[in-house]
Amino acid sequence: MVEMTRLQAVRSVLNTLSDELLVVTTGFLSRDVFCLGDRKENFYMCGSMGNAYPIGIGIALNTPKRNVVVLSGDGAALMSLGSLALGNSLKLPNLRHVIIDNGKYVSTGGQPTCSDGIDFSQFHNTQVINVTSDETASPRITLNPVEMADRFRSCCK
């Protein structure tokens, strides 16, 4: 297995998207997606670790004709194990979860996670991409929360 950098992994996920709604976890992944592939169909979870997947479930339930992709880090996914169980139970056909796993909470200082203790790929429609953790941060997102929400809502109608 070839291990990618975080930015390579984000690019590979973005390259799979057409008109899917994308919910991105807080931290460097949101910043990376904003810099590499910002679009109105992206919703960035700024400052709310662990909530991207539950929000993705809600969006997928309420927009069944749209495909929803959630991009999480391993730390954020671990913070929301209940939502992983819920997603596994619901088995929503329009929801895909991609977890970028570097084994660390990089955005908060590089503390180790315990992602090696769980097989995320066993959850419904979940893909895990293992990455190296040696990249610098992308610049901050320039949209404010109201702009992000309004822009995204226009795609969900």
Q: What pLDDT digit, counting tens, does each position of 114-124 carry? A: 999 999 999 99
Band of the pLDDT at 34, cuts 50, 70, 90?
Answer: very high
pLDDT of residue 60: 98
pTM of the full predicted structure? 0.94
pLDDT of residue 137: 78
pLDDT over 90 for what percent of the chain? 76
The pairing of strands 21-24 and 126-130 is unpaired
Average pLDDT, the chain: 92
Place of tokens 């090696």: 116
CA distance 150 to 134: 34
- Spell out the domains of the chain, with CATH numbers in brackets: 6-153 (3.40.50.970)
Residue 133, pLDDT > 80, answer no
DSSP string of the chain? Answer: -PPBPHHHHHHHHHTT-SS-EEEE-STHHHHHHHHHH--TTEEE-TT-TT-HHHHHHHHHHH-TTS-EEEEEEHHHHHTTHHHHHHHHHH--TTEEEEEEE-SEEGGGT-EE--GGG--GGGSTTEEEEEB----PPPPPP-S-HHHHHHHHHTT--
Residues 46-72: pLDDT tens digits?
878 889 999 999 999 999 999 999 999
Kindly report, residue by residue over 81-106, the tens digit of the pLDDT.
999 999 999 999 999 999 999 999 88
At residue 68, the pLDDT reads 98
Nearest-angstrom CA–CA distance, 25 and 99:
10
